[in-house]
Structure 1
Amino acid sequence: MPSDARILIVDDHEDTLYALESALAPLGYRLGRATSGDEALKQVLRGQVGLLLLDVRMPGVSGLDVVRYMRRVEQTQHIPVVLLTGFGADLELSSTAFGLGVADLVMKPIDPWALRTKVRYLFDTHQRHLALQHEVRELRALVKDHTEAGEHPPRPALPHPDARVPTQRGQGAHTGELEQDRT
């Protein structure tokens, strides 16, 4: 996914949207907002969403309905989702949410420090995953092009088996040699 991916915050209460945006602003990520499940789905399907913070209970299309739909569509099924709820711990909600592959279920009021940590981890991990997928596709295309042209794909250069691998300071039997080299 390009670097212009954003975190989409979805809640039907304007004050909650503002509080979440304020909590996440120090991370420096692009933030988007939606006030309904329908609006969230439209933005997610347009692309460039790398993480969804989603209120569970909203009028019309609920947060769980949004997740159910996202998991059925190939382009959105792997976007990490953090569900937000103000109704306390609920075993049925937890079971349903995690069964749908939600990354986390967070109770309101939200601790900004904990939320930043979770968001940073989930967003960055998802971006790295997408970058690796892109690289794999490029490498497969390169191999396919070489194969169709009757060539063998280039092999990576490997060091000679007798090449000496440098040791790290304080590890292995060569520690004494490192100390001698410094004197």
Structure 2
Amino acid sequence: MPDAKILIVDDHEDTLYALESALAPLGYQLGRATSGDEALKQVLRGQVGLLVLDVRMPRVSGLEVVRYMRRVEQTQHIPVILVTGFGPDHELTAAAFGLGVADLVMKPVDPWALRTKVRYLYDAHRARLALEQEIRELRALVKEHPGTTGTDEPAPAAALPHPDARVPPQRASEAHDGELEQDRT
């Protein structure tokens, strides 16, 4: 997902511009949407690695966008930062974190804090996707390798020596002598 973008969603043009200006120094590809419907369309098309999403928008709210995303396998793990200008709201906070939102940010947004959060979440998401791809590739190699069972299970471990095979067993008298030496010190 090298060209995955950060999608910024808000129904106010000035807020979109402010969020884009705050995130531009990161150097990531940025996209924009002015409604929840438009955001969902872009997310479902793929190539979105993170959403910075306004909570309260006409017709489809930010929470409704997240609810839908969490029900769809291809979008359920995309990190979301919700942005709200209505101050602390315990019900909103509980609903957001209950849906797996990564963070809830209050307006006016601190650009430094937002950049830090976005960088961490975006990079972690990309690393997770790369790891999942590597796992798929390794599973494919294991299935092709003649020493495997042909399933997702690895070959029986009987061919490998036990990790303790080279460690000689400790005699009871040696263990007792070691305890006595420790008692003398």
Q: TM-score, normalised by structure 2?
A: 0.79
| SS of corresponding position for 2:114 | helix
Task: Tell me the residue number matched to 1:33.
Answer: 32
CA shift at 1:42, angstroms? 0.2
Task: Tell me the residue number matched to 2:47.
Answer: 48
Task: Tell me the residue number matched to 2:90.
Answer: 91
CA shift at 1:145, angstroms? 1.5
Q: Deviations over 1:42-66 (max 9, x none)?
A: 0000000000000000000000000
Task: Tell me the residue number matched to 1:18.
Answer: 17
Structure number, greater radius of gyration: 2
- Alignment of 1:129 onto 2:122: no
Task: Tell me the residue number matched to 2:170.
Answer: none
| SS of corresponding position for 2:53 | strand
Count, aligned residues? 153
Q: TM-score, normalised by structure 1?
A: 0.80
| SS of corresponding position for 1:12 | coil
% identical equivalent positions: 80
CA shift at 1:149, angstroms? 8.6
Q: Label 1:116 to 1:148 Cα distance change in 2 as closer, same or farther (>3 A).
A: same
Task: Tell me the residue number matched to 1:172.
Answer: none
CA shift at 1:150, angstroms? 7.5
Query: Residues of 2 paired with 1:147 and 1:51: CA distance?
Result: 40
| SS of corresponding position for 1:33 | strand
CA shift at 1:147, angstroms? 4.5
> Where do 4+ consecutive residues of structure 1 move more than 3 Å?
147-153
Q: Which sections of structure 2, spanning at least 5 residues, go unmatched?
A: 156-162, 164-185
Describe how 1:101-180 pairs up with structure 2 within 5 A: 101-147=100-146
